Amino acid sequence: MGADVEIPVKCLPPHDALELFKKKVGEIMLGSHPNIPELASIVAKTCKGLSLALEVIGKTMACKRTIQLWQHAIDDLTYYAAVKMRFFLF
């Protein structure tokens, strides 16, 4: 099942990307630790405005309750975005 037509997808501007990510993470999680909003901002920036990534990763992070898990996610996203994904996205 190949695709015959390419459909360009625009990335969200930074503010909208962060708002979408925060919506998926949820207010309870964002308020559960004083460092999580800052870490959420870093994760959202790493998603480069890609709405599907923001939604999926936001839902995944909604149950991550420790700073260590958030930092681990940032480390993984940064590594894969820098090393692996650049060949697919850019």
Say yes or no to pLDDT of 86 above 90.
no
Question: Please, what is the Cα angle at 40 between 55 and 13, to 5 degrees?
Answer: 60
Q: Label residue 72 by pLDDT band (50, 70, 90).
A: very high
46 and 78 in contact (C-beta within 8 Å)? Answer: yes
Answer for the pair 32, 9: CB distance below 8 angstroms, yes or no: no
| Token reading at 63 | 């149950």
Torsion from C-alpha of 35, 42, 78, 61, nearest 10 degrees: 60
How do residues 1-21 score in pLDDT, each as one tens digit? Answer: 567 888 888 999 999 999 999
Which tens digits make up the pLDDT trace of 36-68? 999 999 999 999 999 999 999 999 999 999 999
